[in-house]
Amino acid sequence: MIPDVDNDSLVYLNGEYVRLGDAKVSVLDRGFIFGDGIYEVVPAYGRKPFRMDSHLARLERSLKAIGIKLDMSRADWEKLVRDMLVRASSDDAMVYIQVTRGVAKRDHAFPAKAPKPTVFCMVSPFKRPAAAAREQGLSTVSMPDVRWLHCEIKSVSLLGNVLAKQHAVEAGVDEVIQFRDGFLSEGSSCNIWVVKNGTVLGPVRDNLILEGIRYGFIEELARAAGVPFESRRISREEVEQADELMLTSATKEVLPIVSLDGKPVGNGKPGPVYARLRAGYDKAIAAL
């Protein structure tokens, strides 16, 4: 049993609902042996999933990218998410979905006969960002991005992200901002945004970042707020000289970054563009 976890909560595992404490996966599952699998996280407010279509579309893209085939339609995934939310212990929740290639003899190559994929799903309480983070902002530290070159796949192989987050913890800050070859990539588990002269800048949507669901959403919010938006390569110098920095993720929503490497971002306080996007984000949640 895992301390501080509700082992009596129900989870979905390979077509059945079982107690979390009773859920078991073979040690030969390729997700355990190789990290051969993908995952997705769908946030929900008031038990209503937020931007579920985008999350499930990314789930399907990730499955296709690594060649896992499942006999599950979009409607099946939607039903699973909604069924899990009925079982949630809180109104605001996160639905976690993980799919691995399945159980097979240990061999790096895909099994000649494809095993049945392992499908796991659980729901957990979602604690929204605290008022202090929203109003006072976050601190960050920079580091080189040394992860693999397929960051666009939401893979369960997250060691690089784990090490990046631990770097932030050991530096006593909230998050890292990573750079590859002198250009902005992302945080340990979030997208990073730069504001300069009133324009929101986002890194190019390629294989070097995970295109967070909030990426397209931030573009929508910027358009609705009359804020110019540009997607392009962003140099480290531009990040260091930004008027504002922000981060986004399913769990962090959108939050301001007020320091980088011990130096203030802009005037060291959450900026006006962040405030406009934050207001739009909250409005979208309220409209569910």
For residue 55, give the amino acid letter.
H
Mean pLDDT score of the chain: 96
Least confident of 2-16, 67-81, 174-188: 2-16
Domain 131-286: give its CATH code: 3.20.10.10
Q: Would you state the structure tokens that stand for residue 71, as one six-digit string?
A: 């006999």
pTM: 0.94
Residue-level pLDDT at 8: 80
Q: Are strands 244-249 and 191-196 parallel, antiparallel or unpaired?
A: antiparallel
Residue-level pLDDT at 6: 81
CA distance 77 to 97: 9
Which residues does 18 contact at the CB level (< 8 Å), separation at least 6? 10, 11
CA distance 68 to 62: 9
Mean pLDDT along residues 18-25: 96
One fold for both 10-125 and 131-286?
Answer: no
pLDDT at residue 213 is higher than 70: yes
How many CB atoms are located within 10 Å of the residue 128 CB? Answer: 14
- At residue 1 the predicted structure's pLDDT band, cuts being 50, 70 and 90, is low
Report yes or no: 161 and 190 within 8 Å, Cβ to Cβ.
no
CA distance 37 to 62: 9
pLDDT (tens digit per residue) in 152-209 = 999 999 999 999 999 999 999 999 999 999 999 999 999 999 999 999 999 999 999 9
pLDDT at residue 105 is higher than 70: yes
Helix, strand or coil for residue 229? strand
CATH topology classification for 10-125: D-amino Acid Aminotransferase; Chain A, domain 1 (3.30.470)
- For the chain, the domains span 10-125, 131-286
Mean pLDDT along residues 18-35: 97
pLDDT (tens digit per residue) in 271-288 = 999 999 999 999 999 999
Residues marked as catalytic? 154
Mean pLDDT along residues 258-266: 98
Give me the residues paired with residue 138 across strands: 257
Report yes or no: 165 and 188 within 8 Å, Cβ to Cβ.
yes
